[in-house]
Amino acid sequence: MNDTTSSYHPGHTGRGWLTRTEMWLDEKGKGAWIAAMVLGFVFFWPVGLALLAYMIWSKRMFSGKCAARRSHGHMMSGRSAYRTSGNSAFDSYKEETLRRLEHEQDEFEAFLERLRAAKDKSEFDQFMDERVNRPQGSASTEV
């Protein structure tokens, strides 16, 4: 067996090193493309400029695996959350759950507001107590 048959990869037949590198960077995501571009600028600026131009031309800069992953599940946009699925039972369950979550979010935001107001009040009261209790010699700093 020679070296060409021992390093056979079925997905990489007939592809050059540039294509394999592009596929590898695509698998790693947008961060790998940006890292390659920065390294290109550091070591030989025309390489970095060429990578930047290629990323913009091929739309890898503005759409890619990172964007697809972000919109796929973890962060639902406002419009997609209220889109119907066609299943009325699921849609009613989803609507009820979203309504409950929005109510809980409103309650939590109100709690945080009360907490901030209480903290502000206690800090202000502490300031006023310190102001009253400080010696008269330091009163020259008042406006």
Res 71 pLDDT > 80: no
pLDDT value, residue 36:
84
Query: What pLDDT shows up at residue 78?
Result: 55
CA dist., res. 108 & res. 114, Å (int):
10
Least confident of 18-22, 50-54, 71-75, 106-110: 71-75
> Mean per-residue pLDDT for 72-99?
76
**Which residue stretches of the chain are H helix?**
3-6, 17-28, 30-43, 45-57, 65-69, 78-81, 88-133
